[in-house]
Chains A and B, each alone.
Chain A
Amino acid sequence: MAKVLEMRGITKQFPRVLANDHVYFDLEHGEIHALVGENGSGKSTLMSILYGLYQKDAGEIIVRGQHVEITEPRRAIDLRIGMVFQHFMLVEPLTVAENIVLGSEIRKGPFLDYKKMIAEVRRLSEEYGLQIDPEAKIADLSVGLQQRVEILKALYRGAEILILDEPTAVLTPQEVDDLIQVLRNLKAKGTSIVFITHKIKEVLAVSDRVSVLRRGRKIGTKLTSDTNEQELAEMMVGRVVLLQVEKGSAQPGPEVLRLEGVSVKDQFGQVKVNNVNLSVRSGEVLGIAGVEGNGQSELVEAIAGLRRVSGGKIYLSGQDITGWSPLRIRRAGFGFVPEDRHRRGLVLDYSVADNLILGIHGSKPFVTSAGLRNQGKIGEYAEELIAEYDVRPPVANQAVRNLSGGNQQKVVVAREFAQNPDLLICSQPTRGVDVGAIEFIHKQVIAQRDRGAAVLLVSAELDEVLSLSDRVAVMYNGEIVSVMPIEEATEHKLGFLMLGGRLEDYQAGEVSGSAGQS
Chain B
Amino acid sequence: MRDKVKALPWQELLLPLVAVVLALLVGSVFILYVGENPLKAYGILFTESLGSMRNIATTLQRATPLMFTGLAVAFAFRAGLFNIGAEGQLYIGAFCAVWVGISFNLPRIIHLPLAIFAAMVGGALWASIAGYLKAKLGVHEVINTIMLNFIALFLTDWLVTGPFHGGSWVPETVRISSSAAFTRIYLPTRLTTAVYVAGIAAAAVYIILWKTKRGYELRAVGLNPDAAEYGGINVARNTVIAMAISGALAGLAGAEQILGLHNRFIVRFSSDLGFMGIAVALLGKNHPVGVLLAAVLFGALQAGSAAMDRSTAVPRELITIIQALIIFFVAAEFLIRRMLRLKEDA
List the interface of chain A (C-beta within 8 A of B). Answer: 13-15, 304, 306, 325-327, 330-331, 336, 338, 343-350, 354, 358-359, 361-362, 366-367, 371-373, 402
Contact = CB atoms under 8 A, between A and B. Distances in A.
A338 B1 contact: no
State the 8 A-B residue pairs at the shortest beta-carbon distance, nearest first.
Answer: A327-B232, A358-B231, A359-B231, A367-B213, A344-B230, A326-B232, A347-B224, A347-B223
B228 interface: yes
A344 B217 contact: no
A372 B212 contact: yes
A306 B229 contact: yes
A349 B230 CA distance: 16
Contact of A326 (B2, B3, B224, B229): B229
B3 A15 contact: yes
Contacts of B6: 402
B227 to A, nearest CB: 5
Contacts of A331: 232
A349 B78 CA distance: 12
Contacts of A366: 213
A350 B211 contact: no
Interface in B219-245: 219-220, 223-224, 226-234
A121 B15 CA distance: 52
B211 A373 contact: yes
24 contacts: A14-B1, A327-B232, A327-B233, A330-B232, A336-B230, A343-B224, A343-B227, A347-B223, A347-B227, A350-B223, A358-B227, A358-B230, A359-B231, A361-B216, A361-B231, A362-B213, A367-B212, A371-B212, A371-B213, A371-B214, A372-B211, A372-B213, A373-B211, A373-B213
Given A347-B228, A359-B230, 15 more contacts: A13-B1, A15-B2, A306-B230, A326-B230, A327-B234, A343-B226, A347-B227, A348-B223, A358-B231, A361-B216, A367-B212, A371-B213, A371-B214, A373-B212, A373-B215
Contacts of B220: 347, 350, 358
A338 B230 CA distance: 9
Contacts of B212: 367, 371-373
Contacts of A13: 1
B4 interface: yes
B232 A344 contact: no
B183 to A, nearest CB: 31
B227 A373 contact: no
B247 to A, nearest CB: 21
A346 B224 contact: yes
Contacts of A336: 230
A13 B1 CA distance: 8
Contact of A325 (B214, B216, B232): B232
Nearest to B1: A15
B137 to A, nearest CB: 14
A373 B1 CA distance: 40
A300 to B, nearest CB: 11
Residue among A336, A347, A350, A358 with the highest chain B CB neighbour number at 10 A: A347
A195 to B, nearest CB: 28
Nearest to A57: B1
A227 B164 CA distance: 88
A383 B1 CA distance: 35
A176 B211 CA distance: 54
A15 B4 contact: yes
Contact of B216 (A338, A373, A402): A373
Contact of A304 (B3, B211, B230): B230
A405 to B, nearest CB: 15
A367 B217 CA distance: 12
Residue among A336, A345, A350, A358 with the highest chain B CB neighbour number at 10 A: A358
Contacts of B216: 354, 361, 373
B223 A359 contact: no
A362 B213 CA distance: 6
B224 to A, nearest CB: 5
Nearest to B210: A373
Contacts of B215: 373
A345 B227 contact: yes
Contacts of A330: 232
Contacts of A345: 227, 230
Contacts of B219: 350
Given A15-B1, A15-B3, A371-B212, A325 B231 contact: no
Nearest to B227: A347
B4 A344 contact: no
A409 to B, nearest CB: 14
A395 B212 CA distance: 22
Contacts of A346: 224, 227
A354 B216 CA distance: 8
Nearest to A399: B6
Contacts of B234: 325, 327
Contacts of A371: 212-214
B238 to A, nearest CB: 12
A402 to B, nearest CB: 7
B132 to A, nearest CB: 19
A436 B211 CA distance: 37
Nearest to B4: A15
A362 B226 CA distance: 18
B208 to A, nearest CB: 10
Contacts of A348: 223-224
Residue among B4, B216, B229 with the highest chain A CB neighbour number at 10 A: B216
A326 B233 CA distance: 8
A494 B213 CA distance: 46
Interface in B193-212: 211-212
Interface string B147-182: 000000000000000000000000000000000000
Nearest to B213: A367
A241 B216 CA distance: 43
A14 B1 CA distance: 7
A330 B233 CA distance: 11
Contacts of A14: 1
B1 to A, nearest CB: 6
A30 to B, nearest CB: 36
Nearest to A13: B1
Contact of A361 (B213, B224, B230): B213
A90 B229 CA distance: 30
A361 B1 CA distance: 38
A362 to B, nearest CB: 5
Residue among B1, B213, B220 with the highest chain A CB neighbour number at 10 A: B213
A15 B344 CA distance: 12
B214 A361 contact: no
A335 B322 CA distance: 53
Contacts of B226: 343-344
A222 to B, nearest CB: 33
Nearest to B345: A401
A338 B232 CA distance: 13
A345 B231 CA distance: 8
B164 to A, nearest CB: 38
A325 B233 CA distance: 9
Contacts of B227: 343-347, 358
A219 B276 CA distance: 60
A306 B223 CA distance: 18
B223 A349 contact: yes
A239 B43 CA distance: 74
Contacts of B232: 325-327, 330-331, 359, 362
A479 B226 CA distance: 26
Contacts of A362: 213, 217, 232
Contacts of B230: 304, 306, 326, 336, 338, 344-345, 358-359
A13 B219 CA distance: 34
A99 to B, nearest CB: 27
A366 B217 CA distance: 13
A361 B232 CA distance: 9
